[in-house]
Structures are given as C-alpha cells and as structure tokens.
Amino acid sequence: MNELLEQRYRTVLRLLPRSYRAEREEEMVAAFLEYSGDVPDEENPRPSWGEIASVLALSTRVRLGGAGATPRFVAWGAAVRLVATLGLAFHAAAGAYTLASLPFTAPSSTTRTLGVLAAALWATAFVLLMRGHVRTAKPVALAAGAAALAELAVWQNLGSLFVPLDVVQQALNVVVPLAGLLAGFHDDVPPVRRAWRPTVLPPAAGLLLKAVILALLPVLGKVPLLWPWVDLMGLATVVLVAAGIVCLARRVPAYVPLALAMLGTLMLPSRLSVVDNSYLSSGPAVLWASSVGQCGALVVMVVLLAVAGFRGLPAVRQRRETV
C-alpha cells in the first residue's frame, strides 16, 4: 500500500537541494502519505500537479536564498537579484535613450509604439524596484517584457535582416532579468528602498549617451572604428569589463562576480552578432579587429569572474540552521 505513491513523491522531492532533502525528506514524505491516505498501487497513484508545483516553488525559493537556505544558496539568490537589478538598469538606460530619440525617428509605426511603451515601462519598473516597491515592479516589468518581445516579433515579421544571434540576445536580455526579478525577489527577501541617486543614474546615462551621440554624429560617420563602442551593448560591455577589473582587484562577496559573469554571458551573443554582421566584415579590417577585441575581452572577463565567483562561494556541505 502506498509504495508506488511514496516512490513517486520521493522522485518529486529530488527537485529540492540535497542539503534540504537531508533534513526534510522523511518528514515531508510522512506528511504527504498521511495527507493522501491509503492508495493501493493498482490505482497507479501520482502526486497531484498542485503538490509538484508546491515542491518546485519551495525548491526555487530555497535555491535562491529563501528561509532555510544554506549560505551557498543565499549567495546564489543575491547573484540572481543583482542580475535582475542590473538587467532592469540596462533597460532603463536603453528606455531613456529610446525616449530621447523620439524626435529623430519616423513617426507612428507599430514598432515605434511598442518600443516607446516598452521603454517607458522598463524605466518605471526599474524605479519601482529600486525604491522598494517590488510587488508593483513585477507586473510592470512583465508588461515591459511583453511589449519588448512583441516589438522584436513585429521586426521579424517586417522582413528585416534576420540575424539569429541578435534575436536570441535580445530575447534573452528580456527573459533573463524578468525571470531573475520574479524568482529572485521572493517573499523571504525584504524589500530594500535604495537612494534616489543610483535610481536615476541609468536613465540619466541613457539621456547622456543620446546627447553624446548627437554631438559626435558628424565625426561618427567618418570614423567607423567608433561604431561598436557607442551602441548601448558596446558601452555596457566596457562598463562590465571595467566593473570586472575592479571586482577582481578587490575582495567582494562571491555573488558580485557571479552576477557579472552571468550578465557578461548574456551580452556575448550581442557582441558575436556584431562580429558576424556584414557591414563590419566588409568594412575596414581595424573595425572588425576592434569588435573581435571587444568579444575577446568579454570572454576573458566572464571566465575570470566565474572562476572568482565559484571559488568565493561558501562550501556546499555547510549545514542550514535546524528548526
């Protein structure tokens, strides 16, 4: 009696980290079997989807530093939250750039409407997150992500040049920070209200970039070498490499290099797509070499940050606090 159900529930519990199972598995199995009552194996019993979902949610929370997590998972949770925060910061900067570009773009196209909507929503979501309104930031960021993905889909339908790496990178840039925001900022993480200065910095950087590009416009046409350095992702690459150098030079908590390594990995397809782009491969060799240099710096930095992050993580077998 109940053997099959027990076996299947134990399989579901394998979703949980080993350290958590070591302490909770037997008691969870006992509670589940009491809850289910006697079910003969002939009835081919299975844990309900609701039970499986509850274990999956518990597993995600424990792995991202929720109550009962080991220090290692607490660090992973902090890394995921930093990825979400910096991802939204990037979108807030890009959003401010898009809004500042409005007077210079063709009026009333579908992509423009979606782009403007996404830009405004990203910036709002970032401000809400930074000011501690996490619950409100989540649906706003989801709406921003939906608008951004819709814009991407419309672009593809318009028959524009399809660069797979570019599409993948843009989709990942939306999905990964969103997933980090939804999963990383769970109920066990008390909201933190950050100061206004770091809150307005990314949108201000987006506006500044637009002003700089406008000022450099006459020069940019003549110096293609600058192109890969003045697009948003190019600048983000420079910022990430610089932050990585600072991070490696100083003793910072493990979650910081881990988060930067994740963000660098996310940026890599964008830089690879630049190298792959026809306007570069047919352009001056020095320009192509400059883009390859960007890629190389990013790869090296991601590897160094990942190694530093993993080395700095607390040991796997540290026990969690017993109830």
Partner 1 sequence: MFLALTALVDEPRHGYGIVQEVDRLSGGRVQLKIGSLYGVLDRLAGEGLVALDREEVAQGRLRRYYRLTDSGAGALEEEAARLTANARAATARLRERTARLRPGPAFARLLRETAADAGGAG
* 73 in Cβ contact with 65 (< 8 Å): yes
Nearest residue (CB) to partner 1, 43 versus 321: 321
CB of 55 to partner 1, least distance (A): 4
- Interface region with partner 1, contact rule CB under 8 A, candidates 49-57, 94-102, 208-216, 238-246: 49-57
Please give the structure tokens belonging to residue 304: 């160094």
Binder to partner 1 among 8, 10, 29, 232 (CB under 8 A)?
29
Query: Which residues make Cβ contacts (< 8 Å) with residue 179, sequence separation at least 6?
Result: none
Nearest residue (CB) to partner 1, 71 versus 312: 71
Give CA–CA dist 154/304, Å, rounded: 38
Nearest residue (CB) to partner 1, 189 versus 292: 189
Amino acid at 147: A
H or E stretch covering 92: helix 71-101
Nearest residue (CB) to partner 1, 281 versus 318: 318
For 65: left if phi > 0, alpha if psi spans -120 to 50, otherwise beta; the answer is left
Binder to partner 1 among 1, 30, 245, 303 (CB under 8 A)?
30
CB of 317 to partner 1, least distance (A): 19
Residue in 296, 299, 275, 298 with CA at minimum distance from that of residue 285: 275
- Interface region with partner 1, contact rule CB under 8 A, candidates 62-70, 76-84, 94-102, 127-135: 62-70
* 181 in Cβ contact with 77 (< 8 Å): no
If binding is defined by CB under 8 A, does position 119 make contact with partner 1? no
Binder to partner 1 among 3, 7, 18, 26 (CB under 8 A)?
26
Give CA–CA dist 258/263, Å, rounded: 9
Binder to partner 1 among 44, 187, 194, 216 (CB under 8 A)?
187
Residue in 310, 198, 195, 297 with CA at minimum distance from that of residue 239: 297
DSSP 8-state symbol, 104: G
Give CA–CA dist 271/294, Å, rounded: 7
Amino acid at 134: V
Binder to partner 1 among 17, 19, 61, 70 (CB under 8 A)?
61
If binding is defined by CB under 8 A, does position 255 make contact with partner 1? no
Binder to partner 1 among 58, 78, 121, 258 (CB under 8 A)?
58
Instruction: Tell me the number of residues near partner 1 by CB under 8 A.
Output: 29
Q: Which of residues 123-182 bind partner 1 (CB under 8 A)?
A: none
Please give the structure tokens belonging to residue 261: 């390594």
CB of 188 to partner 1, least distance (A): 6
If binding is defined by CB under 8 A, does position 31 make contact with partner 1? yes
- Maximum Cα–Cα distance across the chain: 80
If binding is defined by CB under 8 A, does position 35 make contact with partner 1? yes
Give CA–CA dist 36/27, Å, rounded: 14
Nearest residue (CB) to partner 1, 41 versus 187: 187
Give CA–CA dist 123/88, Å, rounded: 8
* 280 in Cβ contact with 288 (< 8 Å): yes
Binder to partner 1 among 5, 17, 19, 55 (CB under 8 A)?
55
If binding is defined by CB under 8 A, does position 38 make contact with partner 1? no
If binding is defined by CB under 8 A, does position 51 make contact with partner 1? yes
If binding is defined by CB under 8 A, does position 67 make contact with partner 1? yes
DSSP 8-state symbol, 102: G
Binder to partner 1 among 188, 201, 224, 292 (CB under 8 A)?
188
- For partner 1, the binding residues (CB under 8 A) are 24, 26-35, 50-51, 53-58, 61-62, 66-68, 187-188, 321-323
